[in-house]
Chains A and B, each alone.
Chain A
């Protein structure tokens, strides 16, 4: 069994262990700042034990500046080495060799998952060893179990077991319970966006590290800023187009929002909460691997959406009326080519014809007006029609009684005075002529 112990030096909440789920599912947090990871089965995934060590230190960097870590067979030894021999990897099965050169005080840290009940008995033992002239930890190894038992009873037995890696401590898989929430209290309230952003960045790092560990995506990020002098609160909500773990996209969007926010008075405290969703592997198109352009495009559309500017791709719809035959979608559009429905039974066939499939190929103007614009009789007089026979007649939606829109149209091509080729239709019910598009 190989255990990695990370000593974060600064007290943390238990939820910080979630960030280390990246290394292995068996992670356990021990107050005040120790995290034990059982990497026996998963160390080959991360490039061996050294790889694990570096990855652990890199993640720990997000939680505290000077975190240290070590790998040993059992948890107590790993904790002791993390403190006294940072980034040390003990040999498999022979972790006692790595005790050489350690002072007796290291015994205080030989705790593992369950800390010493009180510190006093350890100090007594250390003083007693000193009186015996024993100063190195490897000398303590030579004592036999019975002698420690006679002298210190159960405590002696426990210590001997931990020294000789007999104390079996099983690290159970971590069940994430705490919500992804960050809270910051500013002693000196801040009013400027960049400074606020810097203070919030720390919390964002831990949140996104935990998110990475849980391998989930963030759908929405809510930030609530509490003002210093009044109980006024600003709540900002960042929502990219689709759930993602891209931290700097969130930071940019947050910063953009902060800039737009006019802060009346400085901020005393802030809460950050992250809404996560399971990861949705999106395989877009078999021949088009997810390249960076797709991320850049998502980023662009998220920015536009936040500043209330609609952006997307054109998705063709099957509908008789031109204005309903397309809409803007933020996701990949499917291609649209209507065909008759043919049912085959070993060569015998039955065709259910789609009558209006020809609409997709009919000539349509390149620019379509938002709403058909009624033309006055004078304007119609000025137009020159290409043919007195309508080029297309569209009748539909006769069953929608409530809706008052135009249901019965004759479409014509017309040439305007300035040589514009227009797409004009006459409503057969109120015989009013409308301009609908330009063959630009």
Chain B
């Protein structure tokens, strides 16, 4: 019986140490967050969930990521929930409106799912943000999206206004925004939950507010 034809030992591609590095994600610009996360930013080709009442800072984190993406001249997309993305806010952040596709609120969940698939498969976008009011997707749909994201190397970020304590394993990164602090509920290979002071995230967020707020208050 002929021996099992094994490939020659020499030409087996052994994995070198640096290849074992985790895939580099999209840097968020917040040093604390970047150092803590595995992918030095948002996972590329994976789902992330930012939870928090509107106005607690979830969208601005996504905007900082898009800022990074646009600095490399790449595309980003955003799906509006009941509130609209306001361009006047964006032009203080060197966001290139020519490279940011905005989609009006989809009518129903099924159309949202179809839309997400189309956006991912079009392989145009590095990061896709989706603002959800309550139309949350079912697990099988999330799995399919996860597979598509991995295939097309797209970072899909859900911004959910209704925070739920249940940690869904499908999301490789979940961040919960509260009043004054931010908890990372789930991050691959990282001890979570991990709390951070809100001001660190907002250190230079809303720069118009930092000192003027003080001015207004006095």
* A and B touching (Cβ–Cβ under 8 A): yes
- B100–A313 CB distance below 8 A: yes
Q: Closest chain A residue to B92 by CB distance?
A: A361
- B124–A293 CB distance below 8 A: yes
Decide if B118 is an interface residue (CB 8 Å cutoff).
yes
- B123–A296 CB distance below 8 A: yes
- A420–B103 CB distance below 8 A: no
Task: Among B91, B97, B124, B216, point to the contact of A391 (Cβ < 8 A).
Answer: B216
Min CB distance, B50 to chain A, in Å?
Answer: 10
- B100–A314 CB distance below 8 A: yes
Decide if B150 is an interface residue (CB 8 Å cutoff).
no
Assembled-state Cα–Cα distance A325/B58 (Å): 24
Min CB distance, B76 to chain A, in Å?
Answer: 11
Decide if A184 is an interface residue (CB 8 Å cutoff).
no
Decide if B142 is an interface residue (CB 8 Å cutoff).
no
- B98–A332 CB distance below 8 A: yes
Residues on A with C-beta less than 8 A from B107 are 308-309
- A314–B85 CB distance below 8 A: yes
- B104–A311 CB distance below 8 A: yes
- B119–A300 CB distance below 8 A: yes
The stretch that binds B, out of A226-234, A274-282, A366-374, is A366-374
Decide if B25 is an interface residue (CB 8 Å cutoff).
no
How many positions in chain B have a CB within 8 Å of any CB in the partner chain? Answer: 48
Decide if B44 is an interface residue (CB 8 Å cutoff).
no
- B118–A367 CB distance below 8 A: no
Decide if A31 is an interface residue (CB 8 Å cutoff).
no
- A312–B101 CB distance below 8 A: yes
Interface residues of A in 298-331 (CB under 8 A from B): 299-300, 303-304, 307-316, 322, 325-326, 328
Assembled-state Cα–Cα distance A326/B84 (Å): 10
- B83–A369 CB distance below 8 A: yes
Q: Closest chain B residue to A327 by CB distance?
A: B87
- A313–B88 CB distance below 8 A: no
- A438–B82 CB distance below 8 A: no
Residues on B with C-beta less than 8 A from A366 are 59-60, 63, 85-86, 89-90
Min CB distance, B201 to chain A, in Å?
Answer: 12
How many positions in chain A have a CB within 8 Å of any CB in the partner chain? Answer: 52
- A326–B86 CB distance below 8 A: yes
- A360–B104 CB distance below 8 A: no
Decide if A202 is an interface residue (CB 8 Å cutoff).
no
Residues on B with C-beta less than 8 A from A315 are 97
Decide if B188 is an interface residue (CB 8 Å cutoff).
no
- A386–B55 CB distance below 8 A: no
- B84–A311 CB distance below 8 A: no
Residues on B with C-beta less than 8 A from A438 are 54-55, 59, 83
Task: Among A368, A369, A386, point to the contact of B216 (Cβ < 8 A).
Answer: A386
Interface residues of B in 204-218 (CB under 8 A from A): 206, 208-209, 213, 216-217
- B88–A360 CB distance below 8 A: yes
Decide if B170 is an interface residue (CB 8 Å cutoff).
no
- A422–B55 CB distance below 8 A: yes
- B101–A313 CB distance below 8 A: yes
Assembled-state Cα–Cα distance A229/B87 (Å): 55
- A304–B103 CB distance below 8 A: yes
Given contacts A300-B122, A312-B102, contact A367 B179 (CB under 8 A): no
Residue of A303, A304, A386, A413 with most partner-chain B CB within 10 A? A304
Residues on A with C-beta less than 8 A from B54 are 367, 420, 438, 440
Residues on A with C-beta less than 8 A from B104 are 309-311, 328
- A419–B124 CB distance below 8 A: no
Residues on A with C-beta less than 8 A from B63 are 366
Assembled-state Cα–Cα distance A383/B99 (Å): 37
- B118–A304 CB distance below 8 A: yes
Assembled-state Cα–Cα distance A364/B63 (Å): 14
Assembled-state Cα–Cα distance A359/B88 (Å): 9
- B213–A418 CB distance below 8 A: no
Q: Closest chain B residue to A317 by CB distance?
A: B87
Decide if B57 is an interface residue (CB 8 Å cutoff).
yes
Interface residues of A in 406-429 (CB under 8 A from B): 413, 416, 418-422
- A369–B82 CB distance below 8 A: yes
Residues on B with C-beta less than 8 A from A178 are none
Min CB distance, A418 to chain B, in Å?
Answer: 5
- A386–B82 CB distance below 8 A: no
Decide if B135 is an interface residue (CB 8 Å cutoff).
no
- A335–B101 CB distance below 8 A: no
- B102–A367 CB distance below 8 A: no
Assembled-state Cα–Cα distance A369/B131 (Å): 13
- B83–A368 CB distance below 8 A: yes
Assembled-state Cα–Cα distance A422/B83 (Å): 13
- A440–B101 CB distance below 8 A: no
Residues on A with C-beta less than 8 A from B115 are 304, 309
Decide if A48 is an interface residue (CB 8 Å cutoff).
no
- B111–A440 CB distance below 8 A: no
Given contacts A310-B104, A313-B98, A314-B87, contact A363 B55 (CB under 8 A): no
Interface residues of A in 12-69 (CB under 8 A from B): none
Residues on A with C-beta less than 8 A from B88 are 316, 322, 325-326, 359-360, 362, 364
Interface residues of B in 4-63 (CB under 8 A from A): 53-60, 63
- A367–B85 CB distance below 8 A: yes
- Of the A-B pairs whose beta carbons lie under 8 Å apart in the complex, a sample of 30, sorted by A's number, is A285-B98, A296-B123, A296-B124, A297-B101, A299-B122, A304-B115, A304-B118, A309-B103, A311-B104, A313-B98, A333-B98, A365-B55, A366-B85, A366-B90, A367-B54, A367-B55, A367-B86, A368-B84, A368-B85, A368-B86, A369-B84, A370-B82, A387-B216, A387-B217, A391-B216, A413-B216, A418-B56, A437-B86, A438-B59, A440-B57
**Which A residues lie at the B interface, using CB under 8 A?**
285, 293, 296-297, 299-300, 303-304, 307-316, 322, 325-326, 328, 332-333, 335, 359-370, 386-387, 389, 391, 413, 416, 418-422, 437-440
The 5 closest A-B pairs by CB, nearest first: A420-B55, A419-B179, A438-B55, A310-B104, A364-B88
